[in-house]
Amino acid sequence: MVELAEVLGASEVTIRRDLEELARLGVLRRVRGGAVSLLGQGEEPPFAMREMQAVEAKRRIARLVGELIADGEVVALDSGTTGLAVARTLAGRNLTVLPLSLQAANVLADAPPTRVILPGGELRPVELTATGPLAESAVRSLRFDTAVITCCGVSVADGLTAYRLTDAAVKLAAIDAATRVVLATDSTKFARSAMAVIAPLTRIDVLVTDDNLPAAVVDEVGALGIEVRRG
């Protein structure tokens, strides 16, 4: 517990409370002095758990993404905790946004003059992400100035990956319908690879990440002609 507090820069009380919440969600099992993960390989961590990870990095990434988007644009905004952080940055701007989750839609809908278009489809419980053929068809029927895409894993070799096939299909639809594709992801995703391939890394135009991404990876991504912005 002490070691976790030191690494995360949080109090032991906060760490203990967060561990208890994650245990309640079935993510981990509490043991003396800490916890043991109950997630198997390839399992997506719950939204509540991901929302507590790399919080400040996601805020910085969201600000950088906001700087890339000009007023008047039509934007496809991906789901997940990073997508939610971007929604908070875009809220209240003169934009038309199609969010791929109700989490982001709620943030944007309460902030005029931002115009919100809902994609339809089936909602995943808890995540409140739009998936399935209806969502995919709705996204493909539109054209976007910018698609802000998030992912579960990313590498030069494997490209963008997601844990679920249905999520990957909707993300790819947004990529195909956009003039410019911005990948918004914290640097930890470069150490992961999920089951479903979304698209090769060459399909994105701009990578927005945090400053912990190693210089060697930045150079590798840049060599593909992708602009890299770190914050």
Cβ atoms 91, 108 nearer than 8 A: yes
Q: CA–CA distance from 99 to each of 23, 73, 84, 86, 123 (Å)?
A: 30, 14, 9, 10, 13
Asked if residue 49 belongs to a domain, the reply is: no
Same domain, 138 and 183: yes
Instruction: Supply φ then ψ for residue 150, to 5 degrees.
Output: -115, 170
- Structural domain span for residue 19: 2-38
In a domain, 112, yes or no: yes
In a domain, 9, yes or no: yes
Residue 183 pLDDT exceeds 70: yes
User: Are the CB atoms for 114 and 97 separated by under 8 Å?
Assistant: yes
In 129-179, alpha helices (H): 133-140, 165-176
The CATH number assigned to the domain holding 123 equals 3.40.50.1360
Coil, helix or strand for 3?
Answer: helix
Kindly state whether residues 146 and 208 are assigned to the same domain: yes
80 in any annotated domain: yes
- How far CA 191 is from CA of 56, 105, 152, 158, 194, in Å, comes to 19, 29, 10, 11, 10
Give SS3 for 31.
Answer: strand
215 and 188 part of one domain? yes
Confidence of residue 30 (pLDDT cuts 50, 70, 90): low
Q: Mind listing the pLDDT tens digit for each residue in 69-100?
A: 999 999 999 999 999 999 999 999 999 999 99
Instruction: Tell me which residue of 139, 144, 155 sits closest to 198, measured CA to CA.
Output: 155
pLDDT at residue number 7: 41
Tens digit of each residue's pLDDT (9 = 90 or more) over 40-66: 445 666 655 555 567 888 999 999 999
Residue 156 lies in a domain: yes
pLDDT at position 126 is 82
- Model pLDDT for residues 96-126, shown as the tens digit of each residue: 999 999 999 999 999 999 999 999 999 998 8
Contact 227, 207 (CB under 8 A): yes
Cβ-based neighbours of 38, under 8 Å, separated by 6 or more: 26, 27, 28, 29
- Asked if residue 97 and residue 12 are part of one domain, the reply reads no
Residues 108 and 183 placed together within one structural domain of the fold: yes
| Better pLDDT: 108 or 4 | 108
Quick one: 24 and 110 in the same domain?
no
Render pLDDT for 193-227 as a digit per residue (tens, 0 to 9): 899 999 999 999 999 999 999 999 999 999 999 99
Residue 17 pLDDT:
73
> What is the side-by-side strand order in the sheet with 196-199?
153-155, 159-162, 196-199
170 and 137 inside one domain = yes
Q: How far is CA 198 from the centre of its chain?
A: 13
Number of independent structural domains in the chain:
2
- Same-domain status, 68 and 29: no
198 with 58: CB under 8 angstroms? Answer: no
Query: How far from the centroid of its chain's Cα atoms is residue 209's Cα?
Result: 11
Q: What integer pLDDT is reported at residue 160 of this predicted model?
A: 98
Beta strands in 130-225, from DSSP E residues, in sequence order: 130-131, 144-149, 153-155, 159-162, 178-184, 196-199, 206-209
C-alpha of 192 from chain center: 14
66 domain residue, yes or no: yes
**Chain centre to alpha carbon of residue 31:** 30
> Within this chain, do residues 94 and 188 fall inside the same structural domain, yes or no?
yes
Phi-psi region of 182 (alpha: psi -120 to 50; beta: other; left: phi over 0): beta
- Claim to verify: residue 113 and residue 10 sit in the same structural domain: no
Q: Are both 17 and 68 inside the same structural domain? A: no
Q: Give the pLDDT of residue 225.
A: 97
What is the pLDDT, as a whole number, of residue 118?
96
For residue 219, tell me if it sits in a domain: yes
Does 8 have pLDDT greater than 50? no
Same domain, 186 and 80: yes
Residue 48 lies in a domain: no
